[in-house]
Each structure stands twice: as structure tokens, then as C-alpha cells.
A and B are shown apart, each in its own frame.
Chain A
Amino acid sequence: MTAYTPDALIAADIHAYLDTHAHKSMLRFITCGSVDDGKSTLIGRLLYDSKTIFEDQLSQLEADSRRLGTQGQNIDFALLVDGLAAEREQGITIDVAYRFFATDKRKFIVADTPGHEQYTRNMVTGASTADAAVILVDARKGVLTQTRRHSFLAHLIGIRQLVLAVNKMDLVGHDQATFDGIVADYAEFAKSIGIEGFTAIPLSGLSGANITTRSEAMPWYDGPALLPHLESVPLDADRAAKAPFRLPVQWVNRPDLDFRGFAGTIAGGRVRVGDAVRIVPSGRTTRIARIVTFDGDRDQASAGEAVTVVLADEVDCSRGDVIAAADAPPEVANQFEATIVWLSDTALVPGRGYWLKSATRTVGATVQPPGHVVDVNTQAQLSAKTLELNDIGVAEVFTDAPIVFAPYEDSHELGGFILIDRETNATVAAGMIRHALRRAQNVHWQSVDITREAHARQKGQSPRLLWFTGLSGSGKSTIANLVEKKLHALGRHSFLLDGDNVRHGLNKDLGFSDADRIENIRRVGEVARLMTDAGLIVLTAFISPFRAERDMVRGLLPPGEFVEIFVDTALAAAEARDVKGLYAKARAGEIAHFTGISSPYEPPERPDIHIDTVRESAEAAAERIVEHVLGVWSFEL
């Protein structure tokens, strides 16, 4: 194999060459298939045929092939694709790699996802930015389970341009009947999962047949070769330009008092100076006064461009809002049905608070137990209680605040989201909004005349939620009781929500699994919030073992109203006390999910008040809490 041979035009007329290449478009595509299908060979062939492999790279590759390759004395193109040393040693690839090449018409970015176990996660990641997918099939093997899996995932992530590359045609004697049979099989499958169309190309990565030009070995094939086809498929960006105007605001540009611009990448449609626009979700309308760029003001701009717009009126608008066509604004909701792909080793905990990032907005969100998960191999729908790594499920998602959205099939920008773990900050899931839930659209906040401030004023106090957390038997209830007695004696209006008592009534349907514990805390948090709305000082005494749920409750209240009180007792000390005899039962295996024994306790990292029950009596602790809380009040008043 020889390396890079430059285009003749480069030597003859560099200016003409540069002019041609200045007007190229860009296509991103993903290749799906395993090394066995000849995928690496095909990618190597594309790089080679588009003159992207330089001499030194080729000589390095030849050296590596002899040393590490699996192709005997031949070049092992997998080595060109497998980048990381750890992977080379293990002979596996674990991630998405991006390759670049260009022809006269287009620049191409190839997302290559050759992983095995992590396949779903990697492929979904690589496919999310792709305009097209090339699905490889070995002509000798035909449509396999993995072909169906790749196609399903490509379709799921919304890739409209599918290429069925029937590879290794040289090994089946360039036989038309073989090709036609595979195409017929695939067409049947494609239809069954809703794929509207695909382009099938018989080719050989090894010999180069039907890669850049139509091969004489297959005169019966009258379609395009692979590269010319990829040079001509429509781009998603061009399609987005025809949608109604949407500009998710990324950043407010305010260099001085005279300028206030809204910067962002146009997600859909186009905009002209003078256009009427609506700020969503607030609903305020105004006009576009200027489209500002470094290269001077523009008259108009369209999907895919990163711009800064100035509005005609002083309207509230900030990061996370969407500036949209006034006559066709996007929807707003806080409850959705979404397809979710789980990307993390740690499974979904239904009901737990995650961060949801969609376009430029990040909000708190919870996910309900999935309605079903999909088997990526058979596309069968299965029931499931949660989502684990590489699971694809459909579930309801509730956000803490309404967000601007569009169904994913209409807009990847406004319909796609990621979920972020609040503790680890890891990206744990990718989601695609199907539609808003009808009940969310029909339930509105009732505005009341007697506000929470009015309630609090009447009682002459500032509402607080004193949240006691700690192991069973640490003394939460005892201390909370003492605090409430003192507050009562001082004429404060309070109420104590005790864990055991609430479980006899409001939460008697809940057990002690992680999901039920989370729901337990969520309900208590909501009830406590209503009580603070009524102006009360609320005390709660719940083990509340998970940091994420305590943070969720903190997020329900205005800043400063949630006071986290960590009743800190060593497990051994709590177990030695064992007032209720529960530790003995837990040790005997009679109680499942017992905090400290068979279920974790996550202590607060920065509690507002920290009580060490070994060093401080319950009475002294209660006194300190009252002082802390009253001190804050007197300072405020």
C-alpha cells in the first residue's frame, strides 16, 4: 500500500485548490460494525483513498503491524484506529475515536465506536452528533443480531441517513444474488422498526471496490459508490434551517451599560433584523434589533451559527431561556415521557434527584420507574424496575422547574438532554423527550393572596426547616423534642414531623428499599415545605441516609431556610444503646436494608449544626440549636 499522493491541482494552482476547499460542507458520520466486518479496513481505506495517511504515519503503521498486528505481514488497520496504549495491550477498544478526512466536496468527521461491552453507550455518544450512519455487514454472513442492534440504535438517536455497506463482496465473487438477498432481509427488518429508507452499497474495503468509484467487478450495481454517496447526502443542519426560529440563550453579553446582547447557537430556523420574537418561558415579545458579530452587524443568520442578538426592548432574558419566533414558540412543561439510555455503572434510582441539562438549561429532575426497557438485540419490550448500564428505557421525567422543549424528533437541540449525578457529577444518562405529559400541561399553580410572607409575619417569625439526620438510635427524636419544647415555651409556632409517626400514616405504603426511602423523604420534604409556607418552624427527625435527598429538600426551600443538623453518633455507640432493639434484629438478618448495617449512611459534608452525642448532652445540644436558630433570627430582625 502506498501513502499520500497529492491532488494535481495543488501543484498546478494552489489558489484554485484553496478556493474549492473553502466552500466545502461538513458531514459527520458513524461507522457501525466489528473488526470482523472489516470496519477498520474500510476506515483505513477511506483515509487512504482521500489521501489522509502521510508517509511517516504509514511507516509507523507498518512497524506497529509487524510488532503488534493480527494480520501477519499485512497492514493491520485496527492499529490506525485503536489509540490508547491500555487498549492496545488488551487488544480492545473502549471508546469513541474521531477520524478526519476530506474530499473536494466535503470534510468528513468519522465517529468510530468499536467497543464491545460498552457498545450501546459508545455508539449512542458517537451517533448523537452524526448526520449519517454506515452500517457494515459481512457479505458472507448477512444481517446479524449486531446489524439489527446497530440499526436500532442509529434510528433511536435520530439518524436519518443510513447506509448499509455490504462489505467483503470480493469474498462472495461479487455475486448480485447474495447482495440482493441481504438487502431484502434488511429492508424487512428496517421497516419493522420504523426506518423509512436506507441506501445499500456492495463494496470491498480491502480491494477498494465501490469506495471512490463504481467497480467494474460489479457491473450489475448502478447506485453510487460509498464516497460519492457520502458527499451528497443531505445534512441535518440544512434541515434545521427550515424549522421555526429558536435561539437558546447561552450567555448574556454585557460589556458595559450601553450594550446587552444575547449569545447562543441558533438551534433552528433563521432570523432577520426586525423579526418579532418571543422569550420563552416568560412569554414576553419584542423584536430583533441587531445581529452582532465580530465581522460587523448582519441582516440575518440561520441554524448552526453562533451569534449575538440585541433585542429592541428591555425584557428579562437570561441563560436557559429561548428566543423564538413570536408566532411559533416552543412548548414549556415540567413532566415528560422520554427515552433514556443509561450510561453509568451505577443504576438509576427512581425518585432520586439528578441534574438535567437540556440546551443551555440545567434543572433538578427525577425519573420515575421505567415503563419498559428495550432489548437492543431483539427490540422486544421488557419490564424493569430501574435502568442499568447500557439499558434503554422509556420513563417519565419530572423537572423542578418548567423547561422549554421540543420532541426530540423535531429538534435534537431542544429535545435531547443528559442526566448528571448530583454527588459524583458524572454524566449518567442521555435522554430524548418524546412528549410532555398531558397532566403537566393542565395543572397550573394557583396563585394565593395570603402569601407565605404574610403567614410568617402574622406569627412574628421566620419559617425554618430544622432537618435532623443521623443513624437510628442516635438521638434525633429526643433532641428534636427538646428543641420543640423550648421553642414552644418561647412562643414560637412549630411542628415536629417524626419518622416513625409519619410511617404510620402518610407513608405507610412505603418500605425500606432505596427507592422507598427516597420517596419517604420526598413526601416529608413536600409536607415540610407546605408547613413552612404556613409560617411554621418545622422540625423533622428522619434517618434520611442519602445526601442527594437531603439536598433535594434543601432545594425545595428558599435559601437559608433549610438547617441541616447532623446528630453524629458512632455506629458502635448507637448499636450499644439500641433503644428499639432494631440493631440486634438487623444483625440477626431479620431486617433488610438497615442503615449502618446493610444499607449505607452518607453523613453531611457541611452540616449547619454538628452534634457529637458523645461529647454533648441532648439538653446542651437542644440549647445550642435554639440559640443558633434564634441568633440568626435576632440578627435578621
Chain B
Amino acid sequence: MNGLTHLQRLEAESIHIMREVVAEAERPVMLYSVGKDSAVMLHLAKKAFFPARPPFPLLHVDTTWKFRAMYDLRARAAADAGMELIVHTNPDAVAAGINPFDHGGRHTDLWKTEGLKQALKAGGFDAAFGGARRDEEKSRAKERIFSFRSASQGWDPKAQRPELWKLYNARIHRDESIRVFPLSNWTELDIWQYILAEGIEIVPLYFAAPRPTVERDGMLLMVDDDRFRLHPGEVPVERSIRFRTLGCYPLTGAVESEAATLPAIIQEMLLTTTSERQGRAIDHDQAASMEKKKREGYF
């Protein structure tokens, strides 16, 4: 055997990180967003603890505005892994009727940032796995693999612990917690290659198919159910589209595409000239928006 490939090394690193958390944390949980990165993370968890089941629950912080296809896969994936699935919807956001049509950026704030904090606190979780990657965005490039959060779950870039070798310091005081990113060193291409190599099931929306769409503010939006509010004069048009990232359906832009297989998706990804997050409205809010959201407790 002549050395490990980059995917083998990335896989081993992620597994090492997950095992370290399970060995040192009291009550870990895995954030599961149903996207492709979550799918890879869940697959790695199955590998890390085989033949045991991953010894922690999955947590989905639900906004109630995900695509229907995501809810289908969510239930199946948890059952296949034999893991408990915790679904948390922020009761304040439910009560206030928060939705992406009326509330824009506040939608993310209330459902996700606040909802995540509530769910972690309610479950008493002291470590939470997240699928973020360092290549996604500039402020992520400096994120630790073990990201330390204060009792109020805030992130202070200056209070992060140095990480040397494979030695992760998971010691915390009561009420403090760590967010752990086992996919830190993966790139988007690595994720796709791994999905291909391992045959990991992902939400069908990543593959191109004819779907009802409207074009709005330069984004191509899919009309997933009858909650979608059409503007006067808007008529859904069937286009062959797919999604590069999946979030809340009215906030996530699709791309027109014919790529219906993994190699075709990867080919298209490599031939296009815009990076992954452009499809998400959240990043267009303002420069450094992600860092701001992280300080407030967003994943």
C-alpha cells in the first residue's frame, strides 16, 4: 500500500475527532440539517462507531420552511442509522408566525440562531457536531475544529484555544459548550467526491429535474408548496433546476441545470465560475455577516 489518499486522510481525521468528542464530552449531539454536508457527517459517524450505533442523537433545528424532500430524507436517514432524532422548532417563532416572506433576515435569526440555542440548552448538550467547512467563507477559515462557546453560547474569536497536532482540549465548565466541526478540512469538491465514492444518499433536490419555479430578484425560486406567496402577475414556470445548497425553500436559489447524476453535478460545479454560497440569501445581507451571526450563536 502506498500511502493514504486525501479522502482517506480526511475521513480518518473526521472519525478521530468524533471519537474524541464521544470519549470526552458528557452529552454530545449531532446537528443535522439534511443537506449534503450533514449527510457526509452522518455517514462518517456511522463509520466511526461501527458496529455500535453512533452514541448520540441527531438534532434538527427546524424552521418549518424546509423543502418537503428534505423532511422525507430526514426521517429515513435517522431511522437507517438507528439514531434518535430530535426536532426543535422555536416556539417563539411559531407563536410570532415568523416566515421568510414577511421577516427576511429575522427569519434566520429567530428560527435558527435562537432555536439552536434553545435546543442545546433544553437537551443539556455540552458538545454539538456541526457540518461547517473552513473553505465555505472567510471567517470560517480561522475557526477551530473544537469551537468553544461561553455559557451564553457566544463565540469570542480571541478566546479560542490553540489546537496542536491531534490534541483537542474538550474540558469545559458547567453550562459552557463546544461546537465541533469534523468536516473543517473538507472542501466542497471533497464532499462531492466522497458522496460519489461512498454512495451516500442525498436529497433529490441536488439533482436536476423539472420543477415549478418563479424568478425573483435575480434568484430562481422553487414553488414547493402552497405556502409560497406569488406576487401579482407571477406564474410558476416549469424549469429543469437543481440546488447547490439547501436551506429554507423560499430563501434558497436554484440553478438551471440538466445535471441529473453525481458526475454531472461535479462537472457542472467545476465548470461554473461562482462559489457555492451565492445561492443563499443569508450571505448577501452584509459583508462579514457570517462572523456577526456566529458571535450571536449561529452555527
Contact = CB atoms under 8 A, between A and B. Distances in A.
Contacts of B23: 250-251, 319, 360
A83 B292 CA distance: 12
A319 B138 CA distance: 36
Interface in A240-285: 241, 250-251, 253-255, 259, 261, 263-265
A294 B167 contact: no
Interface in B260-280: 263-264, 266-267, 270-271, 273-275, 278
B163 interface: yes
Interface string A125-154: 100110000000000000000000000000
B71 interface: no
Interface stretch (B86-94, B99-107, B120-128, B185-193): B185-193
Interface string A2-45: 01101100110011011001111110000000000000000000
Contact of B171 (A241, A319, A425): A425
The DSSP consensus for interface residues of chain A is mixed
A124 B173 CA distance: 27
B5 A22 contact: yes
A18 B267 CA distance: 9
B185 A109 contact: yes
B161 interface: yes
Contact of A306 (B7, B19, B135): B19
Interface in B234-275: 263-264, 266-267, 270-271, 273-275
A416 B6 CA distance: 24
Contact of B164 (A4, A293, A416): A416
Interface residues of A, number: 81
B174 to A, nearest CB: 11
A493 interface: no
Identify which of A14, A96, A295 gathers the most chain B CB atoms within 10 Å of its CB. Answer: A14
A624 to B, nearest CB: 28
Contact of B53 (A109, A255, A412): A255
A567 to B, nearest CB: 26
Identify which of B16, B140, B160 gathers the most chain A CB atoms within 10 Å of its CB. Answer: B16
A235 B162 CA distance: 24
Contacts of B140: 83
A10 B270 contact: yes
A108 to B, nearest CB: 9
B228 interface: no
Contact of B4 (A97, A99, A255, A305): A305
Nearest to A86: B157
Interface in A95-138: 95-100, 102, 106-107, 109, 121, 124-125, 128-129
A55 B141 contact: no
Contacts of B189: 21, 102
B62 interface: no
Interface in B152-171: 157-158, 160-167, 169, 171
B114 interface: no
Identify which of B4, B10, B135, B139 gathers the most chain A CB atoms within 10 Å of its CB. Answer: B4
Contacts of B158: 94
A23 B16 contact: no
Interface string B52-95: 11000000000000000000000000000000000000000000
A6 B162 contact: no
A129 B165 contact: yes
Contacts of B278: 56
Contact of A292 (B51, B135, B139, B162): B51
Interface in A338-353: 343
A98 B141 contact: yes
Given A15-B263, A95-B142, A56 B274 contact: yes
A461 B47 CA distance: 52
Contacts of B19: 250-251, 263-264, 306
B166 A265 contact: yes
B12 A426 contact: no
Contact of B9 (A10, A237, A294): A237
Contact of A235 (B3, B160, B193, B263): B3
A357 interface: yes
A433 to B, nearest CB: 13
B182 to A, nearest CB: 11
B46 interface: yes
B135 to A, nearest CB: 5
A253 B47 CA distance: 12
Contacts of A57: 275
A308 interface: yes
A75 interface: no
Contacts of B270: 6-7, 10, 17
A520 B53 CA distance: 50
Given A6-B270, A263-B19, A430-B164, A255 B142 contact: no
Contacts of A417: 167
B73 to A, nearest CB: 20
A241 B193 contact: no
Contacts of A98: 134, 141-142, 184-185
B22 interface: yes
B172 interface: yes
Given A107-B190, A306-B15, 16 more contacts: A22-B7, A25-B3, A57-B275, A84-B157, A84-B291, A95-B160, A96-B142, A107-B6, A235-B3, A237-B3, A251-B22, A293-B50, A294-B50, A305-B8, A308-B50, A425-B173
25 contacts: A6-B270, A7-B270, A25-B5, A26-B6, A54-B275, A83-B140, A85-B292, A86-B157, A94-B157, A95-B142, A96-B142, A97-B141, A99-B141, A100-B187, A102-B187, A109-B185, A124-B164, A129-B166, A241-B3, A319-B23, A413-B165, A417-B167, A420-B171, A427-B164, A430-B164
Interface of A: 3-4, 6-7, 10-11, 14-15, 17-18, 21-26, 54-57, 64, 83-86, 88, 94-100, 102, 106-107, 109, 121, 124-125, 128-129, 235, 237-238, 241, 250-251, 253-255, 259, 261, 263-265, 292-295, 302, 304-306, 308, 319, 343, 355, 357-358, 360, 412-413, 416-418, 420, 425-427, 430
Interface of B: 1-12, 15-16, 19-20, 22-23, 46-53, 134-135, 138-142, 157-158, 160-167, 169, 171-173, 184-185, 187, 189-190, 193, 196-197, 263-264, 266-267, 270-271, 273-275, 278, 287-288, 291-292
8 closest A-B pairs (Cβ-Cβ)? A255-B52, A26-B6, A306-B15, A55-B273, A83-B138, A107-B6, A14-B267, A294-B47
